[in-house]
Copies of this chain bind each other. A is one copy, B any other.
Amino acid sequence: MAPKQVNIAIIGTGGVGSVFVSQLAWLSKNSPSTRLSLCYIAMIDKALYHQDYSEINIDTAVSTLESTGSPPPKLSEIVEYLACAPHKVVLVDNTSASSLAEAYPEFLKRGISVITPNKKAFSGSYELWQDIFSSAKSGGSMVFHESSVGAGMPIISTIKELVQTGDDVTRIEGVFSGTMSFLFNSFAPTSGSGGKWSDNVKKAKELGFTEPDPRDDLNGLDVARKLTILGRLAGLPIESPSSFPVQSLIPDELKDVANGDEFLSKLHDYDNQMEAQKIAAQKEGKVIRFVGSIEMATKEVKVGLERFDPMHPIATLKGSDNIISFYTKRYGDMPLTIRGAGAGGDVTAMGVTGDLLKILAQLR
């Protein structure tokens, strides 16, 4: 049997994108039943492709793109180019761009499958969410986004399978942010003192666990986006990540300071706010953690600080690990829990590569 051929298009060659390209190179050498033919690769200001769809060498794609890429075409032109490719096409969006996310329906309608770690499309408006899945249906294409929650861990696939096999998800709870995990595991450890809040934030930034401006982590929006995705997959028509309570850990007075450096230099003036939360929990024999939760029966979705017994799996989390628990009718009182790295180029790219394998298995 001649190997199946699939055209691959990649947008984004940053932390996740560049690792994905190397995993794709590995896969193309280790997946003899499918020929993976790269026909488009682009970064923010450059694109590499040929009008005759001739194959781009995956091993050298990123360096060739950097040295010989031309300004990228408009999105509508990319759709048109890929829709006319000789084989089925998988578009890999390794950016975090909203503009590209909003164009997924255009690609999907034209039969172009999409895989991505980009949360934007699935945590944007509910209308876009519906549009994405109806477009995939009408276009006979597929869309997978395992790495949009928990990076390469099997979170999206698990909740989908619970729902599709007829289980009732009753509650979802977890630590969805590697940054928040690291901050509270060190600030409020199950034993010993955790030091000052602002010192922990500074340390997290130094170690590369925060965004350039730590407020982009502390505002809780990243967690809210992930909960939006899981809630929708569980069956709740959540309108947007701002349609439920999200606790921000940014002091009101520092919301509008000019940049991350100024924020960090002033944060210690507000350490007493977080310290008070930690001490109040300690008086109950508990520790604080920044969690997201969904109660399906009451449709209550929330993000913020909660108190946990020191032996609770959420309290004993280590490093920057994520933990996500699914409470369901079939699993009863003891949830199905998945724990591990929820961020990082290697594991995020692996989730995308795993999605590609699912598509390859299903493509006709």
Contact = CB atoms under 8 A, between A and B. Distances in A.
A27 B336 contact: no
Contact of A152 (B311, B330, B334, B362): B330
Nearest to A19: B330
Interface residues on A, range: 35 or more
A293 interface: no
Contact of A166 (B30, B158, B340, B364): B30
A354 to B, nearest CB: 5
A279 to B, nearest CB: 23
A13 interface: no
A162 to B, nearest CB: 8
Nearest to A358: B361
B340 A339 contact: no
State the number of copies, please.
Answer: 2
Interface in A340-364: 340-341, 346-347, 350, 353-354, 357, 361-362, 364
A154 B354 CA distance: 14
A337 interface: yes
Contacts of A304: none
Contacts of A357: 161, 164-165
Contact of A334 (B27, B166, B321, B337): B321
A336 B341 contact: yes
A331 B341 contact: yes
Contact of A332 (B162, B316, B338, B341): B341
Nearest to A152: B330
Interface string A300-341: 000000000001010010110100000000111111111111
Interface string A22-36: 010011001000000
Interface centre among A30, A158, A190 (most CB of B within 10 A): A158
A172 to B, nearest CB: 14
A311 B158 CA distance: 27
Given A165-B23, A165-B27, A340-B331, A154 B152 contact: no
Nearest to A31: B164
A153 interface: yes
Given A311-B316, A316-B311, A353 B165 contact: yes
A161 B154 contact: yes
A177 to B, nearest CB: 15
Given A330-B346, A364-B364, A311 B190 contact: yes
A96 interface: no
Contacts of A60: none
